[in-house]
Amino acid sequence: MNSGSGSRGNGARVIAAIVTVALLAWWRLTTDPNAIDLAHRFASPSTTSPLGTDELGRDVLSRLIAGGFITIGAASGALAATAAIGTMLGLFAAWRGGTAGSALLVTTDSLVSVPQVVIALIMVSILGTNLQALMVAVVAAGWLPFARLSFELASRILSTDYAIAARMSGASSARIVAFTLLPNVARPLVAHAFLRFPGKLLLLSGLSFLGLGPQPPTPEWGAMLASGIDELERHPLVPLVPGLAIVLTGFAAAHFGRRLEAPTTGPASARPTE
């Protein structure tokens, strides 16, 4: 029904386009994103400031780009740490099996009904309101699905004939993990990571929106949205630019993740009959 490779190409192209635009804009970026110019508050778009200026006369485009590096960078960093920690826990539990396996299952089963925002709030209350603390909070809130998925994938692979054969032929644990387990769990986990990216982006920018992240004047998208939101009526560009940036970035990553995931889940698990 859907031509996998073509659509996957589209997703990759969207991401490539975003990166190119960001880099080009960064290169052309001459204004300081935090430079205050009270004489030109809420300026309309012009050649000097293509997206206008905000409530302190700061260039919206400069802040959008600088904020993109902060927001996407922090979300990606948090996602990478989340995936790494969750995957290690899941693989370890699957490898050891028995008590370790059921302990992981019981913990994830129960913790999954605790809202991520609440877990993140706990971390923020301990670590304070800054970007690093916010990233740690996002990691603490999000390792569950990765642990669960990698546990299930690894358990399935370890019970296949070729994994049993590898073990019986005397391969070392390290060798089985490196050559049997990792290559087989890598692709679905990477796809899962792309699918989870919007969640990280939303949690991060959402908490930052509430003032629980990097403090002003840091141009984080969620914080930009929060500070511009009162002007939605008179100066819609100021809040709409970061808002749309959050939505579109999340959308592109989710789209890319779905395409990556499609070939593995389609025939294997979704429709066993027919």
Partner 1 sequence: MRSSSRQRILSTPFILLAVSFLAFLLPELQGVDQARVTLFARSQEAEPTEAAIAAISAELGLDDPLLVRYGRYLGDIATGDLGTSNVSRSPVGPQVWHATVVSATVVALAMAAAVLSATVLGVVAAANQNRWPDKLITGASRVLVAIPIHVLTPVLVFIAALRLDLDPTSGWGSASHLVLPVIALAVSPAALFSQVVRSEMLDTLEQPYIRTALAKGLTWRRVVWVHAARVSLVGVLTLGSLFVAGLLGGAVIAEVILGVPGLGRLLHTAVTSSDVPMFQGGLLVAVASGVFVGLLGDLVSGLLSPPNGDG
Instruction: Provide the binding-site residues for partner 1, judged by CB under 8 A.
Output: 102, 105-107, 109-118, 121-122, 124-126, 198, 201-202, 205-206, 209-212, 222, 225-226, 229, 232-233, 239, 243, 246-247, 250-251, 254
User: Is residue 68 a contact partner of residue 76, using CB atoms and an 8 Å limit?
Assistant: no
**Least distance (Å) between residue 239 CB and partner 1:** 7
Tell me the two tokens of residue 156. Answer: 């399935």
Burial class (CB in 10 A: 0-12, 13-18, 19+), 24: exposed
Beta bridge partners of 59: 53
C-alpha span between 236 and 105 (Å, rounded): 47
Our CB check for partner 1 shows the closer of 184 and 200 to be 200
Our CB check for partner 1 shows the closer of 29 and 229 to be 229
Tokens 């190409």 — which residue?
Answer: 9
Alpha-carbon distances, residue 116 vs 111, 113, 202, 244, 266 (angstroms): 9, 9, 11, 23, 29
Our CB check for partner 1 shows the closer of 38 and 234 to be 234
**Least distance (Å) between residue 231 CB and partner 1:** 11
**Least distance (Å) between residue 205 CB and partner 1:** 7
Beta bridge partners of 53: 59
Our CB check for partner 1 shows the closer of 113 and 169 to be 113
Tokens 């073990």 — which residue?
Answer: 167
**Least distance (Å) between residue 16 CB and partner 1:** 20
Our CB check for partner 1 shows the closer of 32 and 109 to be 109
**Least distance (Å) between residue 59 CB and partner 1:** 22
